[in-house]
Chain A
Amino acid sequence: MKALLVLVAALAFAAPALASEQHPTLTELENQLMCPVCAGETLAQSDSLPAQRIRAHIQERINQGWTRSQIKRELVDIWGTRILAAPPRRGWNLLAWVLPLVGILGGAAAIAFLAWRWSRRREEPEPLPGPWSLNGRPLDPELERRLDEELARFDG
């Protein structure tokens, strides 16, 4: 039953992804691509001439039935990887994907470890007070007996 649920969930997610790969839209692609001559703007945000030309070219390719990967590959060939809004998942660029994950997992592990230590410390019983002492030396039993008597008299 569980396996069936997992399969259904996987298909539910895979179907739109496959549809987007096979039949991409201009809106989707212009948000995944950068304007290569603008400072940090996606194609969707830029109104520069190169951005307009690239958008027109993408629409042309979509009309010709190109897939999302084919369109992106062609643009990367012409402009280099700087046209991609997200770095490719290979080579040095893989670090951009892996490091945040490592940071999140490392941070979560550190928080969990600190929380565990903190809760363990609170569970530990308070240490019992040691025997009465004077300047670090235990009291003389006779003196301790007299002290107890005095205190009892004082209380009572």
Chain B
Amino acid sequence: MTARVKLGAQALAVGLVLALLALLIWKVAFDNNGGGVAAKIDKGHITSAPNFTLSRLDRPGQLDLASLRGKAVVLNFWASWCYPCNKEAPALEQAWQKGDGHVVVLGIDVNDFAGDARKFMRQHHVTYPIVHDSKNITSPPYGLTGLPETFFVDPRGRVVGHVAGQVNAATLRAGIERAQKA
């Protein structure tokens, strides 16, 4: 093999490896779900809550997040198969009942079958509104990395708090207070 052909083949191989490396870096940096609202709020940036309109599971019809402006909203992402979601459901129900219409607890059922979600609601005597995200449209803009995840939205529609993982009465109270004060 002549030196020029050999050099060309080596350059081609190195170029191919660099191109694949660049592709990998681009994919990791710009194409993951962790870059949404969750990442921004965890860095201390307050951002507006991405709007959505989803079918309700607790009653017929749809619910639009923007229709809840003027109230503090606890956005809770959950699924029936998720163990910590089962554990935190009583605390969310309690926060909803205490809120007395001024605080809305809104459950968003993701990565789940509607039938299983309804069974979950019956088992845990859930009375707060629940919507079903059957097309997984909310996960990317909110940057979900697991379940459950909870966001606190102030009356102006801005996300002011985020809890990744199970919430309890204390974390809910703190988040709601922050949303009401903002």
Contact = CB atoms under 8 A, between A and B. Distances in A.
Interface stretch (B70-78, B108-116, B149-157, B174-182): B108-116
A92 B20 CA distance: 12
Nearest to B2: A117
B59 interface: no
A5 interface: no
B111 A78 contact: yes
Given A57-B113, A92-B27, A78 B81 contact: no
Contacts of B135: 77-78
Nearest to B116: A53
B134 A77 contact: yes
B170 interface: no
Contacts of A50: 79, 81, 111
Interface in A4-51: 36-37, 48-50
Prevailing SS type, chain A contact patch: helix
Interface residues of B, number: 16
A49 to B, nearest CB: 5
Counting contact residues on chain A (CB < 8 A from B), the size range is: 10 to 19
Contacts of A48: 81
A65 interface: no
B113 A78 contact: yes
B127 interface: no
B35 to A, nearest CB: 15
A95 B26 CA distance: 14
Nearest to B26: A92
B147 to A, nearest CB: 9
A59 B139 CA distance: 27
A97 interface: no
Contacts of B23: 95
A53 B81 contact: yes
Contact of A78 (B9, B20, B136): B136
A138 B79 CA distance: 93
A80 interface: yes
Nearest to B83: A49
Interface string A103-117: 000000010001001
Interface of A: 36-37, 48-50, 53, 57, 77-80, 92, 95, 99, 110, 114, 117
